[in-house]
Chain A
Amino acid sequence: MQTKRTIFGNRVLPYALLLPQLAITCVFFLWPAGQAFRQSFLREDAFGFKTEFVWFENYGKLFVDPQYHNSLWVTVVFSIGVAVLSLVTALVLALAVERTLRTARAYTTLLVWPYAVAPAVAGILWWFLFNPTIGILPYALDMVGYDWNHRNSRVDAMILVIVAASWKQISYNFLFFVAGLAAIPHSLVEAAAIDGAGPLKRFFTIIFPMLSPTTFFLLVVNIVYAMFDTFAVIHATTEGGPAQSTNILVYKVFEDGFIGLNLGSSAAQSVVLMVIVVALTVIQFRWIERRVQY
């Protein structure tokens, strides 16, 4: 009885405890989101002298704009690229660490390090490594006959941003995979081994299916990461170029709004992004968490 009273007795306390979080959500999310929503229906000069309500004109222009279609396509390629590369690499590393006995801890620590690096710093780092003029990787690639130049080549530029964005995400995925692997009962794997299943067979019939909840969770997290958290990587490496070939949606919002001062279009783009985030979140909670079974 007494415990119940301390929890439900005070009607104000729960709200008071929630208040800081609610205030932060209002100030840093609801309010700006509302502003963006409002702005997306306006046409305005940079200084805000002439404001005109244009209904859906900003959206209409956006959906017929070939640059926007390009940006959508680029985002799809980029997100899938980042998700696949970082998931596969992380899984391989996690499996490798699981097989080592004495040094597993040391490896785990080392592999988690990149996660502590800020995206902008990671971007600069890869920019240096891949710089066509002063970078060491183009120099090495040149020796095997590949002329690396992400200033000219769309493919090179895309590879660069995918690698730069995946790098730190590998650490994150790795941690989840290590935890996922540890949760698989050893008895199952051992039983399969006794029945004569080789390492590959065991991986594909037991380990991988049992990891699928982790994998699907990470897939969504990685796609969200690639779509919304990689601004700094793009900004520090290609700035969306060459010829918009790495101009992902988030970067385009920034470029059109903050550099180009085209506020209406930029706001409309961020509303579209907001819809995408909501959709991805719904998928994660409603669909994946229910359907994934093993």
Chain B
Amino acid sequence: MTRTFLLAATATIALPLSAQAQTKVEWWHAMGGELGTKLEEIVAGYNASQDEYEVVPVYKGTYPETMTGAIAAFRAGQQPHIVQVYEVGTGTMMAAEGAIYPVYQLMEDAGAEFNPDDYLSAVVGYYTDTDGNMLSMPFNSSTPIVYYNKDVFEKAGLDPEKAPETWAEVEEFSKKIMESGAASCGFTSGWVSWVQLENFSAWHNQPIGTLENGFGGISSELTVNGPVQVKHWENMKRWQDEGIFRYGGPVGGDDAAPMFYAQDCAMYMNSSASRAGVVANATDFEVGYGMLPYYDDVEGAPQNSIIGGATLWVLAGHEDEEYKGVADFFTYLSSAEVQADWHQFSGYLPITEAAFELGKSQGYYDKNPGTDVSIRQITLNAPTENSKGLRFGNYVQVRSVIDEEFEALMSGDKSAQEALDALVERGNALIRDFEDSNS
């Protein structure tokens, strides 16, 4: 009975040309360029490994485009099975309870092998609910580190093997570099909001917001206008005026990387996943890697840094059979081999302990010094409630507010205190808007 029904169903659905009745799983992603090619390679590997399911990757543009595209598709009933969403969209996705199929539940329902303890807590912690359940599957997570130009360090009479550890050293090194004429600027930074505020706060064990940085509920508020953050932003402004720091633009900071590649700036703070780009572009000089600097007079620093990047969310409204395919694909994706390959290729963090161990046993970190800085940095200490991550509604817009207030600081319109106070006030208004439309 069931069999005939299934046969009939297959016959009606299947296209005349597809001889095999493979279940299709659609995956919308935002990985262009080399990362996109690698992603397709991984998917091709999965499709070749079995013949029951076929994962179809679809490139949807930038992160915001992919996310808003998926939301629009959901509203029209045309959503993909899997969508890659960047970390600032987490609050929005999490609040949309009817639209998402939590990963822990999916794995359970599909009977897939799944042990949450296998995953690096510093990575998955960002995407778990308050009960510790994993809601989305981390795919590409990274954390900011320091890249520096060893040749410039040497020319300036500095030890090329020693990255600056504290902000005082960043200033001291920069001055030496500029005075010696080895480079015209000390450092630049990509992702100012993420690196110089969010990670800065976590790294110094300072709260970003109330209710465990928003993990505790959507009624949380930002608190980034504390004395430690104010001091840092004051310094950033002073360093900019003195030429030590150069601003590379809002959001990702498009102009930051070229300043480092052109050897204008000796140091560059950005995602560990920028490594591939840095290595490809730093053709005339040696690159060194270091952890983020900290202020040594702040108690609890350095704590641990937090992640950024994107995770895979499963959208509701599909057949059980298709979700089995999703679960099966996720199992493949988090296997040590696939993870280690992806991590070593891209500079993104491995999501499981096993992938990290595999890399060690392959001797990858010895052969490529500096590639483990990111992992050592996020696992430096057990995360506190200030350094687990952050989760606020409307955070995409809050990020723009951070950029804008930082720009107001840079242009001299506002002092550090004024900029951060305004940031908190405007950010909280956005978070309240989100609370209103989601309760």
Contacts and interface: CB of A to CB of B under 8 A. Distances in A.
Interface in B289-347: none
Interface string A32-71: 0000000000011111111010000000000000000000
Nearest to A153: B411
Contact of B396 (A45, A154, A241, A261): A261
A261 B71 contact: yes
Interface stretch (B134-142, B250-258, B351-359): B250-258
Grouping DSSP codes into helix (H, G, I), strand (E, B) and loop, the B interface class, with mixed when no group exceeds half, is helix
B68 A259 contact: yes
A241 B68 CA distance: 22
A217 to B, nearest CB: 38
A264 B394 CA distance: 13
Given A241-B407, A243-B411, A131 B397 contact: no
24 contacts: A43-B437, A45-B437, A46-B92, A46-B96, A47-B74, A47-B96, A48-B75, A49-B98, A133-B258, A133-B262, A151-B250, A151-B255, A152-B247, A152-B411, A241-B404, A242-B404, A243-B404, A243-B411, A243-B413, A256-B397, A259-B68, A260-B397, A260-B400, A262-B394
Contacts of A241: 249-250, 403-404, 407
Most chain B CB within a 10 A radius of its CB, from A44, A52, A243, A259: A243
A153 B405 CA distance: 13
Contacts of B71: 46-47, 261
Contacts of B408: 243
A132 B249 CA distance: 10
Nearest to A241: B250
Interface in A55-93: none
Contacts of A48: 75
Contacts of A133: 255, 258-259, 262, 264
B250 A258 contact: no
Interface residues of B, number: 37
B255 A45 contact: no
Given A45-B438, A133-B259, 10 more contacts: A43-B437, A45-B95, A47-B71, A131-B255, A151-B247, A258-B68, A260-B397, A261-B92, A262-B433, A264-B437
Counting chain A residues whose Cβ lies within 8 A of the other chain, the interface size class is: 20 to 34
A214 interface: no
Nearest to A256: B397
B40 to A, nearest CB: 27
A151 B251 CA distance: 12
Contacts of B438: 45, 50
Contact of A152 (B251, B407, B436, B437): B407
A284 interface: no
Contacts of B96: 45-47, 49
A166 B90 CA distance: 40
Contact of B68 (A44, A153, A242, A261): A261
Given A258-B68, A260-B394, A262-B394, A244 B404 contact: yes
Contacts of B413: 243
Nearest to B413: A243
A239 interface: yes
A50 B393 CA distance: 15
Contacts of A49: 96-99
A259 B71 CA distance: 12
Interface of A: 43-50, 52, 131-134, 151-154, 239, 241-244, 255-256, 258-262, 264
Contact of A134 (B92, B258, B394): B258
B410 interface: yes
Given A47-B99, A242-B250, A243-B407, A259 B437 contact: no
B64 interface: yes
B238 to A, nearest CB: 15
Given A43-B436, A45-B96, A243-B404, A152 B68 contact: no
Nearest to B409: A243
Most chain B CB within a 10 A radius of its CB, from A45, A48, A239: A45
Contacts of B404: 241-244
Contacts of B255: 131-133, 151
Contacts of B95: 45
A239 B250 contact: yes
Contacts of B248: 151
Interface in B51-104: 64, 68, 71, 74-75, 92, 95-99
B397 to A, nearest CB: 4
Nearest to B315: A47
B437 A44 contact: yes
Contacts of B251: 239
Interface in B198-237: none
Contacts of B407: 151-152, 241-243
The 9 closest A-B pairs by CB, nearest first: A242-B407, A243-B407, A260-B397, A47-B96, A243-B404, A133-B258, A47-B99, A151-B249, A243-B408
A47 B400 contact: no
A262 B74 CA distance: 17
B251 to A, nearest CB: 7
A262 B306 CA distance: 27
A242 B438 CA distance: 31
Nearest to A61: B433
A261 B74 CA distance: 14
B116 to A, nearest CB: 26
A134 B256 CA distance: 11
